């Protein structure tokens, strides 16, 4: 029997048709058999199951063009003439600083390679840059030429062997890579036949071996690199060290980003993006696809198809600052991340639906006495939607509590209880405390987090990961919807396990969840122009009510939080039926009231709209039944029809995220850095 004991972070390329496959992570099999054959066997079974449920349609397809997060890894290199050119004490500390500025691209495995006294020194490991650099003494590594790599693992915890840079058999060539080599599998087989020893399971290591071979043949490294680029297919940004040429960093670029920074004659740099270079220089050359070459401290040599490239006119002088990192195409991170949600949802569904830990989680939940759900801020709101789904599909009550308020439930916990702890960063101190205390009471913990191997996952019995990618904007956007998706998936699993859903119903619901991303995309397209105008008229409001019924009242909480934290406008969410027991007293002519029609209680909602408009409120409603509901006095904001509560969060929430964003722009506020707030709250 195959027992899966942990998820590992590797991509696998072993489909029979020799096409590559990425995105589906695979499993390390207990008993030590993690040979490729065993893994491929397992994967092919996984694939069959995947096809049976139809999800390879939505995930990255076999052999299809890759859709990867822009900025999945960061690479950098620096070469100096003398130590005087260094800003830090050693080359190692210099590289650490460079990698720190690339940290937003990924931060769970890191490594450097430096040519020191004619030897190649490689130090690498899993963990955050600060930790690894301290543990492995990056600062003590010295030399004049070095490269580094930092990585964001979306699939399973990273390990030391798979961390970059990778070396060849003789330890003379080191390679750091951002991207995916498509024909990796064939090349690897060939290399093994030729007698190379391949240590890792990455697609990168093969590059160092190919280079080794080409270099032995010609004794010209540039020629070896040219030949390599003919051999490999896929996306790559490469930085390469060769011990025989201690003052050169070789590079190559195709599809993945790479930029050269031009020093003042005694140093040059190369990195994944411009902001990383700005500490050293503001003169850069952005490389184009197919270009490769090398830098020395005093020279830059770029080739394309073996012919030198003329750099005239390509040197840009940058006059902006580091803060604008990676907002490519967008003025703020928040709007970028709102627009990224369809992709984040797709990745998350894809990941969660192939995660064997879900079955384990379902079993734990089913065997538990009581289910508790906790989180702080947006995560708590996602938890409330989770509670709704547990009740709706699995008929299992779940008790939600705000993580800092755990003392309220402190006396009721038994060993048979289970806590679902939700935290984007996995480091939120309030939630961490709730987890520790719950564990001390003997309960089991299921964590939901976006950051692999962070504190809360480490202390939990089991973790389900959202795959939203790095979220930089302080206001949570894409993490909310991906958390809701994971919770909903879990509730469906539980419902099936407990026999509350038939197999057909289960698959039907699961399939609609699979399509959640389409609804988000459509909702954004449909409403953004209107919301931009609406934001203008709401930007002067002092106070806003957001009302809904059933699921709508839960979504309203998140909508109100966004408007509060980003726009500094008092926004209050209320169940619509409850609004007449108090809050309505504040309503006067012109008071904005937003309604959320999330299918639940639509009839009654009409009554609530009338109550508000009768008092002169400026009412708006996000609904797909705009013709039906528009006649009752609220202006309809039409969103796509989902016809099922499961999908309602994915059409309503983007509208309110956009609204809060555009109000902030109207009011001249920075939506990425709301005052008094931090992305990860690590103080109580």
Partner 1 sequence: MVTSLVVLAGGLGKRLLPITKETPKPLLEVMGKKLYQYTLDYAAEAKLDEAIIVSRKGWITEREHNGIQLRIVSQENYGMDEAYRAFYNEYQNGIEDTLIIAFTGFIARPPNIIEQSLRQYTLLNESNMILVTPVATGTDTHASVEFDFGSRVKLVQEKGKGGSGYALAGVLIVNREGARVLYEDGIIPGLNHLASRGSLGAALWTGEWMDISYPWDILEAVAMLLDGVTETKIASTAKIAKTAIIDGPVVIDNNARLDEFAVVRGPTYIGRNVLVGMGAFVRPYSAIESSSIVGSRSELKRSVIMSNAEISSGAVIADSVVGPYSRIGEFSVAKSTYVDKLPSRFTIRIFFKKRKPKMGSIIGAKVKLGPHTVIPPGSIIE
* Catalytic site positions: 73, 679
Q: How far is the CB of 666 from partner 1 (least distance, A)?
A: 8
Output 14 or 468, the one with its CB closest to partner 1.
468
Output 64 or 410, the one with its CB closest to partner 1.
64
**DSSP label at residue 140:** G
| Long-range pairs for 121-127: beta carbons < 8 A, 24 or more residues apart | 122/165, 122/167, 122/171, 122/174, 123/92, 124/149, 124/160, 124/163, 124/164, 124/165, 125/160, 125/163, 126/157, 126/158, 126/159, 126/160, 126/163, 126/453
Q: How far is the CB of 380 from partner 1 (least distance, A)?
A: 27
Task: Check binding of 496 to partner 1 (CB under 8 A).
Answer: no
Token output for 35: 């040979």
Give the number of other Cβ atoms within 10 Å of residue 572's Cβ. Answer: 17
491: nearest Cα among 424, 392, 417, 399: 392
Output 185 or 349, the one with its CB closest to partner 1.
349
Output 327 or 602, the one with its CB closest to partner 1.
327
Range in contact with partner 1 (rule: CB under 8 A) among 140-148, 160-168, 440-448, 524-532:
524-532
Q: How far is the CB of 553 from partner 1 (least distance, A)?
A: 25
Residue 177 CA neighbour count, 13 Å, CB half: 21
* CA distance linking residue 258 with residue 403, whole number of Å: 42
Task: Check binding of 343 to partner 1 (CB under 8 A).
Answer: yes
Task: Check binding of 220 to partner 1 (CB under 8 A).
Answer: no
Q: Identify the residue among 32, 118, 195, 313 touching partner 1 (CB under 8 A).
A: 313
Q: Identify the residue among 192, 330, 405, 610 touching partner 1 (CB under 8 A).
A: 330
Range in contact with partner 1 (rule: CB under 8 A) among 87-95, 126-134, 326-334, 581-589:
326-334
Q: Identify the residue among 529, 604, 628, 677 touching partner 1 (CB under 8 A).
A: 529
Q: How far is the CB of 595 from partner 1 (least distance, A)?
A: 15
Task: Check binding of 339 to partner 1 (CB under 8 A).
Answer: yes
Q: Which of residues 51-110 bind partner 1 (CB under 8 A)?
A: 67, 70
Output 342 or 383, the one with its CB closest to partner 1.
342
**DSSP label at residue 310:** P
Q: Which of residues 452-491 bind partner 1 (CB under 8 A)?
A: none
* CA distance linking residue 9 with residue 27, whole number of Å: 9
Q: How far is the CB of 257 from partner 1 (least distance, A)?
A: 5
Task: Check binding of 635 to partner 1 (CB under 8 A).
Answer: yes
Range in contact with partner 1 (rule: CB under 8 A) among 321-329, 433-441, 493-501, 604-612:
321-329
Output 133 or 523, the one with its CB closest to partner 1.
523
Q: How far is the CB of 335 from partner 1 (least distance, A)?
A: 6
**DSSP label at residue 160:** T
Q: Give ∠ CA 380-384-390 in degrees, rounded to 5.
A: 135
Q: How far is the CB of 619 from partner 1 (least distance, A)?
A: 9
Q: Identify the residue among 53, 183, 286, 512 touching partner 1 (CB under 8 A).
A: 286
Q: Identify the residue among 332, 381, 444, 510 touching partner 1 (CB under 8 A).
A: 332
Output 316 or 433, the one with its CB closest to partner 1.
316
Q: How far is the CB of 489 from partner 1 (least distance, A)?
A: 23
Q: Identify the residue among 48, 310, 317, 542 touching partner 1 (CB under 8 A).
A: 317
354: nearest Cα among 61, 46, 9: 46
Contact pattern for partner 1 over residues 595 through 624, marking x by CB under 8 A: -----------------------x------
Rounded to 10°, the helix 221-231/205-218 angle is 130
Q: Identify the residue among 534, 555, 556, 606 touching partner 1 (CB under 8 A).
A: 534
3-state SS, residue 606: helix
**Residue 255: partners with Cβ closer than 8 Å, 6 or more residues away:** 179, 234, 235, 236, 289
Q: Identify the residue among 6, 134, 199, 536 touching partner 1 (CB under 8 A).
A: 536
Task: Check binding of 530 to partner 1 (CB under 8 A).
Answer: yes
- Residue 317's φ and ψ, nearest 5 degrees, are -100, 125
111: nearest Cα among 262, 120, 535: 120
Token output for 501: 């859903």
Q: How far is the CB of 529 from partner 1 (least distance, A)?
A: 4
Output 155 or 346, the one with its CB closest to partner 1.
346
**Residue 524: partners with Cβ closer than 8 Å, 6 or more residues away:** 338, 339, 341, 342, 654, 658
First-to-last alpha carbon distance for the chain, in angstroms, is 45
> Cis ω on the peptide bond leading into residue 165 (within 30° of 0)?
yes
490: nearest Cα among 386, 606, 383, 384: 386
How many residues are there in the chain?
684
Q: Identify the residue among 347, 471, 528, 567 touching partner 1 (CB under 8 A).
A: 528
Output 206 or 663, the one with its CB closest to partner 1.
663
Give the number of other Cβ atoms within 10 Å of residue 297's Cβ. Answer: 20
Token output for 325: 């990192």
* CA distance linking residue 362 with residue 383, whole number of Å: 16
**DSSP label at residue 340:** T
Range in contact with partner 1 (rule: CB under 8 A) among 18-26, 158-166, 194-202, 338-346:
338-346
Task: Check binding of 589 to partner 1 (CB under 8 A).
Answer: no
Output 318 or 500, the one with its CB closest to partner 1.
318
> How far are the Cα atoms of 268, 330, 598 from residue 521, in angstroms, in the given order?
42, 17, 18
Q: Identify the residue among 468, 524, 646, 659 touching partner 1 (CB under 8 A).
A: 524
Output 319 or 588, the one with its CB closest to partner 1.
319
Output 401 or 620, the one with its CB closest to partner 1.
620
Task: Check binding of 587 to partner 1 (CB under 8 A).
Answer: no
How many residues bind partner 1, per CB under 8 A?
Answer: 43
Beta bridge partners, 636, equal 621
3-state SS, residue 406: helix
Range in contact with partner 1 (rule: CB under 8 A) among 223-231, 329-337, 394-402, 572-580:
329-337
Q: How far is the CB of 241 from partner 1 (least distance, A)?
A: 25
- Residue 35's φ and ψ, nearest 5 degrees, are -65, 160
- Residue 217's φ and ψ, nearest 5 degrees, are -65, -50
Contact pattern for partner 1 over residues 656 through 675, marking x by CB under 8 A: -----xx--x----------
* Chain positions contacting partner 1, by CB under 8 A: 67, 70, 257, 273-274, 286, 288, 313-314, 316-320, 324, 326-332, 335, 339-340, 342-343, 521, 524, 528-534, 536-537, 618, 635, 661-662, 665
């Amino acid at each position: 029997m195959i027992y899966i004991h942990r998820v590992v972070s590797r991509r696998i390329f072993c489909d029979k048709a020799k096409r590559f496959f990425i995105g589906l992570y695979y499993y390390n099999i207990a008993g030590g058999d993690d040979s490729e054959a065993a893994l491929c066997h397992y994967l092919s079974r996984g694939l069959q199951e995947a096809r049976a449920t139809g999800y390879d349609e939505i995930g990255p397809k076999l052999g299809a063009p890759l859709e990867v997060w822009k900025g999945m890894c960061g690479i950098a290199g620096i070469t100096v003439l003398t130590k005087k050119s260094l800003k830090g004490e050693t080359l190692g500390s210099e590289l650490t600083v460079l990698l720190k500025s690339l940290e937003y691209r990924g931060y769970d495995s890191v490594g450097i390679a430096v040519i020191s006294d004619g030897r190649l020194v490689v130090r690498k490991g899993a963990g955050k840059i600060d930790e690894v650099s301290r543990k492995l003494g990056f600062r003590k590594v010295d030399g004049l030429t070095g490269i580094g790599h930092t990585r964001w693992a979306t699939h399973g915890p990273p390990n030391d062997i798979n961390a970059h840079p990778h070396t060849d058999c003789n330890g003379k060539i080191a390679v750091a890579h951002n991207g995916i080599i498509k024909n990796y599998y064939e090349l690897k087989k060939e290399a093994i036949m030729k007698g190379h020893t391949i240590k890792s399971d990455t697609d990168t290591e093969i590059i160092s071996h190919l280079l080794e071979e080409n270099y032995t043949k010609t004794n010209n490294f540039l020629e070896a690199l040219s030949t390599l680029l003919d051999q490999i297919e896929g996306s790559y940004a490469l930085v390469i060290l060769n011990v025989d040429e201690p003052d050169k960093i070789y590079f190559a670029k195709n599809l993945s980003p790479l930029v050269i920074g031009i020093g003042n004659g005694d140093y040059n740099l190369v990195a994944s993006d411009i902001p990383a270079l700005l500490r050293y220089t503001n003169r850069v050359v952005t490389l184009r696809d197919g270009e490769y070459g090398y830098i020395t401290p005093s020279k830059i040599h770029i080739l394309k198809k073996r012919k030198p490239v003329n750099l005239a006119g390509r040197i840009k002088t940058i006059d902006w600052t580091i803060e604008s990192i990676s907002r490519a195409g967008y003025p703020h991170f928040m709007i970028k991340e709102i627009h990224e949600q369809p992709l984040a949802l797709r990745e998350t569904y894809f990941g969660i639906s192939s995660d064997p830990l879900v079955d384990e989680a379902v079993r734990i939940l089913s065997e538990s006495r009581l289910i508790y759900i906790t989180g702080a801020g947006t995560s708590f709101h996602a938890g409330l939607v989770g509670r709704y789904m547990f009740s709706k599909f699995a008929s299992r009550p779940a008790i939600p509590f705000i993580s800092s308020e755990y003392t309220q439930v402190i006396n009721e916990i038994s060993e048979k209880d289970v806590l679902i702890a939700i935290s984007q960063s996995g480091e939120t101190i309030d939630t961490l405390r709730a987890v520790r205390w719950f564990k001390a009471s003997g309960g089991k913990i299921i964590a939901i987090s976006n950051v692999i191997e962070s504190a809360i996952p480490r202390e939990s019995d089991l973790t389900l990961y959202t795959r939203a990618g790095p979220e930089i904007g302080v206001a949570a956007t894409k993490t909310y919807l991906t958390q809701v998706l994971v919770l909903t998936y879990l509730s469906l699993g539980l419902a099936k396990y407990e026999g509350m859903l038939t197999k057909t119903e289960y698959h039907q619901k699961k399939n609609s969840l699979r399509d959640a991303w389409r609804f988000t995309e459509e909702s954004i397209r449909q409403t953004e122009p209107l919301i931009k105008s609406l934001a203008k008229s709401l930007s002067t409001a002092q106070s806003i009510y957001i009302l809904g019924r059933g699921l709508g009242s839960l979504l309203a909480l998140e909508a109100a939080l966004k408007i509060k934290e980003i726009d500094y406008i008092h926004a209050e969410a209320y169940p619509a039926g409850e609004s007449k027991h108090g809050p309505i007293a504040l309503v006067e002519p012109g008071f904005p009231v937003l309604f959320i029609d999330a299918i639940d209680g639509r009839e009654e909602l009409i009554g609530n709209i009338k109550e508000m408009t009768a008092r002169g409120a400026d009412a708006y409603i996000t609904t797909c039944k705009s013709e039906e509901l528009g006649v009752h006095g609220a202006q309809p904001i039409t969103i796509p029809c989902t016809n099922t509560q499961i999908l309602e969060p994915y059409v309503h929430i983007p509208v309110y995220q956009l609204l809060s964003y555009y109000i902030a722009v109207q009011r001249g506020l920075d939506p990425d850095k709301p005052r008094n707030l931090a992305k990860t709250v690590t103080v109580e």
